[in-house]
Structure 1
Amino acid sequence: MTLATDSLSITPQILSLISELDEFKGAWKALGTLAPERLSALRRVATIESIGSSTRIEGAKLSDREVERLLSNLEIRQFETRDEQEVAGYAQTMETVFAHADSIELTENHIKQLHRDLLRHSAKDERHRGEYKTNPNHVSAFDAEGREIGVVFETATPFDTPHKMRELVEWTRSALAERTLHPLLVIGIFTVVFLEIHPFQDGNGRLSRILTTLLLLRAGYAYVPYSSLESVIEQSKEGYYLALRQTQTTIRTDAPDWQPWTLYFLRSLQQQKARLEKKLERERITATSLPSLSTEILALAKEHGRLTIGQIVTLTGANRNTVKKHLQSLVAANHLAQHGRGKGTWYGRA
């Protein structure tokens, strides 16, 4: 591909960020202190955050709590609103990537299949899902209410899209195989160029984040499902759009300015890692300082979101009075919050 990556200056700041992320990547491989059910709970929370954030970045309005309720009923095949359709498609496509990343190579065919899966529940997108765009489109920014507030960037024409995508995929595969650049830099460049092309009629932003996760997993960053990169991006949307625009306007010139997007991308990965480190530290403190039943109750609360005493008794097999005592201690220590009164009482994360 005719991308002038030689213009990417590997500054001490970029080297430091890459080194920090690779150090954590190595530490994660050696991590064996958390029980599988606790890792599962961490991943479920991160997945809910990722789905909610990624769809809200594109204008959806469902909260994380609404996303969680929807995910608990994914056997439903008809979704009433477009927001629900987008959340369901994003959730199922992410699960595909988590489960099969090793076997999903970066090819145009796989990219189209993931796009088709992403929009599988959206009747509005039925005609164009899994196929490159046939009409011009552009990148828009949305405010907190989901209203479009302006065009961020003009994208590739439908005529140019197929060969630009072919070149991008070939360049990315070659760069990753030959290690001509560090994998994190290659993944960052792939993402910003993919969004500059904007190859599909709709769903490009969401698909770009799914593809970023896929490439990170294939590059050995196995911790990414346990901390939400999408949530980091949602909370820095102004910086996200600014970095995209600053780099994208230069991509097709002789001297692209990769620096704005590269720094934003690496700093976002740094934030993702830092959030996971904090969660792991809380898990370790909790695991070493609480009785085993209390630890189990906390893990269940993370996994299910809300629990009644009856549910906890059923899931743990513990005595009802014993469960009540542990719940009282967990609420007093601010590990859990009690909601409602009497028979309507339930418990969730504080």
Structure 2
Amino acid sequence: MKEFNYREMNSELMVPEIMNLVSKIHEFKGKQELFVRAKPDILKAMLEVAKIQSTGASNRIEGIFTSDARLEELVSKKAEPMNRDEEEIAGYREVLNTIHENYDYITLRSSVILQLHRDLYSFHPSTNGGRYKNQDNVIEEVDEKGTRRIRFKPLSAFETPEAVENLCSAYHEAINEGRIDPLILISKFVLDFLSIHPFNDGNGRMSRLLTLLLLYQQGYIVGKYISVEMLIESTKESYYETLQESSIGWHENENSYLPFVKYYCSVLLKAYKDFSDRIETVAVDKMGKSERVRDLFDKKVGKLSKREIADIYPDISVTTIEKALSDLLKEGYIQKVGSGRGTTYIKNSDYEGPEEN
């Protein structure tokens, strides 16, 4: 039977690389309250943007899609789901909102995980919601020739309920003892949860929702304002590679948590860096909104899309951004790259200043 021993620190994790990551995250957490107090109006806008990004990214990782416009409408509850993908997106929105609003009152245990999974499928007629898997499952990968091979065989359906109970108990015992850093414990919990693969469907999305829940409960609230799910989506190959590396020997209790813990802590550190940069960028009171768009091109190396600018400056309306881009194009300060939805903008390296009259 798989054992979950979280009370002992794995010696492999006591390496400078992991300790440095954890230490840097702690530093950002220490500044977190200052960030939160800095610009309440901007943080509120960042919160709404992050909800949309998180809901979209976590579902896209699993091959669940809708348009950007529909995604925004679904997350803001301005539209009802029209197909299966949108039903699953709406369900994710509900669980994400539950965690955002109630994380201090949610106890991690098997019955609660089942309730959250039920809510994940609350818009979908599936009977799988809120039930552990009723048949054994495997994690497969498909090569470029279309050949399938089993990458990992999770615990059987029979073993799953007890394993989830044991996993939650092991996590609580270690957290309550306080000897091992919560960041290490949360990363290990996520790896073990994914290796159990307790549901017929929705395992990846549940793992990311539980990640946010556990981080928030330990005071790491960056995921409210910066989409951790989108950072995982942008590093999806590393996510799957480290998941595979850390699952080797898992059934025999001989797996190495190091690759996955390193990856997860790196993602969280990137989220905090983005949060810090975003707050510093929007904290410039003396600069007008159009000037801030211009300033962004001075600081950014490479192309920027209209959506990226809106995400960085959630307090600036799309209309204002479009006007600023139009003015910068006329001035010759930036250049347009591509057309349609793929349109991006880049600073004109040949710009020599406004022409004199």
In the superposition, the TM-score normalised over structure 1's length comes to 0.79
- Deviations, residues 72-124 of structure 1 (Å, cap 9, x unaligned): 44463xx222210111111111011000000011111111111111111111x
Provide the identity percentage. 31
Q: CA deviation at 1:240?
A: 0.7
User: Where does residue 289 of structure 1 map in the other structure?
Assistant: 287
Measure, in 2, the Cα distance between the counterparts of 1:191 and 1:142.
Answer: 24
Q: Is 1:28 matched up with 2:28?
A: no
Paired residue type of 1:92: E
Measure, in 1, the Cα distance between the counterparts of 2:9 and 2:30.
Answer: 28
Measure, in 2, the Cα distance between the counterparts of 1:57 and 1:228.
Answer: 13
Paired residue type of 1:29: E
Measure, in 1, the Cα distance between the counterparts of 2:246 and 2:110.
Answer: 24
Relative distance call for 1:107 and 1:277 in structure 2 (3 A) is same
Paired residue type of 1:12: P
1:120 alignment partner, one of 119, 122, 127: 122
Measure, in 2, the Cα distance between the counterparts of 1:87 and 1:25.
Answer: 30
In the superposition, the TM-score normalised over structure 2's length comes to 0.78
Q: Is 1:332 matched up with 2:333?
A: no
Matches within 5 A, 1:197-346: 197-285=196-284, 287-290=285-288, 302=314, 306=318, 328=323, 332=327
Out of 166-175 and 36-45, give the one that drifted further.
36-45
User: Where does residue 168 of structure 1 map in the other structure?
Assistant: 167
- Deviations, residues 47-86 of structure 1 (Å, cap 9, x unaligned): 111111100111112254441133244463xx22221011
Q: CA deviation at 1:303?
A: 6.6
Structure 1 residue matching 2:244: 3-state secondary structure: helix
Measure, in 1, the Cα distance between the counterparts of 2:327 and 2:239.
Answer: 40
The CA RMSD over aligned residues, in Å, is 3.4
User: Where does residue 38 of structure 1 map in the other structure?
Assistant: 42
Paired residue type of 1:139: I
Whether the aligned pair in 2 keeps the contact of 1:8 and 1:258 (CA below 8 Å) is: no
- Deviations, residues 159-210 of structure 1 (Å, cap 9, x unaligned): 0101111110000111111123100000001000000001111111001100
User: Where does residue 129 of structure 2 map in the other structure?
Assistant: 129
Paired residue type of 1:2: E
Structure 2 residue matching 1:302: 3-state secondary structure: coil
Dislocated runs of 4+, deviation >4 Å: 140-143, 147-151, 303-307, 326-331
Query: What stretches of structure 2 of length at least 5 have no aligned partner?
Result: 294-309, 330-343, 346-357
User: Where does residue 56 of structure 1 map in the other structure?
Assistant: 60
Structure 2 residue matching 1:38: 3-state secondary structure: helix
Query: What stretches of structure 1 of length at least 5 have no aligned partner?
Result: 308-322, 335-348
User: Where does residue 311 of structure 1 map in the other structure?
Assistant: none
Whether the aligned pair in 1 keeps the contact of 2:187 and 2:264 (CA below 8 Å) is: yes
Measure, in 2, the Cα distance between the counterparts of 1:148 and 1:67.
Answer: 33
